[in-house]
Structure 1
């Protein structure tokens, strides 16, 4: 039958004291013994006791030093130590607690007192270990949830990329089809010449090169930034608008960017991650505008997304506004929480959550949302830096 009792390590250079403690404790606990501070360190590492009873006055290494050394060893540093000593001076007790002990029992002692103090600190120690285990489990669970959210966010972004690439490829693919069809008709009519073939091949290669550049642009967009960089915030916005301009036109959405004409506005952070946030916010505005149109109330001939970028005393402020009807008050306060969405069953509820995480953790900034007349406005605050990366 397994012995599930707690283990107590008794450290005392006097055999009589060790024997007395054995008689008191052997029925309730598994016991291990050490006759010096040096032996105590080895025994603690090998036995891994649940609690240590430690004398102060011992040869070679006293109890204070032994306790300090025990607390310096990571794998046993949490084990509670109770001093048992004939020293009754307050200074000795204070030194004991300073060395890392949790309690102090004076000799001569009562059996019930020793057992009571041991039981109290074992309960506290086991509770601490249980809480640490629960925290570890919770941290691991949240880490897994975070990884899952990141993966879902990447999949959502990949879906947007594929849709945008397909839209941008449609025209060059149509042009390639027309060129091939023209070559076939010219061949049947006996009109194929060397110059004609050269011109047709050149046109095809130009279109293929354009399509290849499109793929490279989107690959670079999805690639995580390897390191922090100093970059122009306005440029990042323009790059996203350029990549997704066809998608916005297809949805009859106009994007206006208002920026200072006389200067560039720099921040430091992860450029591609910020661009993913910009895309998330633009997509959110696009979906809000399209949802508002489907309601049939105040139908808009043209959706409008307005981006205002300005420079504060020590920060960059980017406001993304739309005319998509605004955000329901019931979810406005928790919009950046995971799985909260404005899109009903069609939304994943991770885009804005990941956007907040990126802005706060990758860009050292903040993001908020509010309703404005006819729509919603997201506000991003980022650190303002000089072109060399130094804070303003």
Structure 2
């Protein structure tokens, strides 16, 4: 509103900002993230299959043993308690696996403080059997030896880690084709600093040529015959655009290192 020289209302000036383009960009970004997540779902389901094999074998063994004891009239109350505890242990483990998968595919609606260490352990629990099946050693260490709370989108962050570990697994598998004796290894190291948390994911796979490192975060760029080129592009969108952090890839002596830096939660400082 503005006044005339008599101090009376002479009119109103309105400023309207068109945010349609910004909103559309946000929608497109979320769509890309979800599409990339779907490409990881197959890997996650495969990991769950591997994880469920041992519990299912154990449950089958318990059922047969209970039946055998019952037929021989040897089933005591102590036996029932032991069998019950065993069954509950296996079913809780399987339920936790599904909960982890459900969290992975569910988008985080709002940014919040989350424990990075806990999130990493959940991801590694889901992927550990799949990596073991591929004869890849997995090593994780929280170097800070304390809680590491970041601020952002926990499920999307876990999606980034899954994508990077799957890339590392593929790189190791590729390297093994020319070196059968290679002992695959993926190492994760977590550090906490005053204003940020840093995660390093290293592998001893085939490495990356210097001339293509700058292209790795481009959409549709991939070095895999069956890749869609969304994984690392999605990772950059999540870490840098949504969580205001940094992600970079470097060549190391025997493989590749992915470095992720995300802001620490203000409420934890």
Shorter-chain TM-score range? 0.7 to 0.9
User: Which residue, out of 222, 247, 260, partners 1:367?
Assistant: 247
Deviations 1:180-239 (A, max 9, x none): 33445556x543646456654554344333322221232233332343222343333233
Q: Which residue of 2 aligns with 1:234?
A: 117
Q: How do 1:212-291 residues align onto structure 2 when only pairs under 5 Å count?
A: 212-261=95-144, 263-291=146-174
Q: Which residue of 1 aligns with 2:236?
A: 356
Q: Which residue of 2 aligns with 1:88?
A: none
Pairwise CA distance, 1:144: 7.5
Q: How do 1:321-360 residues align onto structure 2 when only pairs under 5 Å count?
A: 321-345=202-226, 347-360=227-240
For CA contacts below 8 A with separation 6 or more, give which structure has more relative contact order. 2
Moved over 6 A (4+): none
Task: Tell me if the contact between 1:183 and 1:192 (Cα under 8 Å) persists in the aligned partners.
Answer: no
Whole-Å Cα distance in 2 between the matches of residues 368 and 181 of structure 1? 53
TM-score w.r.t. structure 1 length?
A: 0.56
Whole-Å Cα distance in 2 between the matches of residues 244 and 186 of structure 1? 37
Task: Tell me if the contact between 1:331 and 1:340 (Cα under 8 Å) persists in the aligned partners.
Answer: no
Task: Provide structure 1 residue ranges, at least 5 long, that are not aligned to the other structure.
Answer: 1-64, 75-131
Q: How do 1:27-38 residues align onto structure 2 when only pairs under 5 Å count?
A: none
User: Which residue, out of 161, 168, 186, partners 2:44?
Assistant: 161
Is the counterpart of residue 191 in structure 1 residue 39 in structure 2?
A: no
Pairwise CA distance, 1:244: 2.0
Whole-Å Cα distance in 1 between the matches of residues 190 and 228 of structure 2? 28
Deviations 1:226-274 (A, max 9, x none): 4322234333323322332222222222233344345444321112221
Task: Tell me if the contact between 2:143 and 2:189 (Cα under 8 Å) persists in the aligned partners.
Answer: no
CA RMSD of aligned residues (A): 3.2
Task: Give the length in aligned residue pairs.
Answer: 257
Q: How do 1:111-130 residues align onto structure 2 when only pairs under 5 Å count?
A: none
Task: Provide structure 2 residue ranges, at least 5 long, that are not aligned to the other structure.
Answer: 1-9
Q: Which residue of 2 aligns with 1:376?
A: 256
Residues 269 and 149 from structure 1, CA distance in 2 versus in 1: closer, same or farther, beyond 3 angstroms? closer
Deviations 1:24-51 (A, max 9, x none): xxxxxxxxxxxxxxxxxxxxxxxxxxxx
Whole-Å Cα distance in 2 between the matches of residues 262 and 202 of structure 1? 32
Residues 224 and 178 from structure 1, CA distance in 2 versus in 1: closer, same or farther, beyond 3 angstroms? same
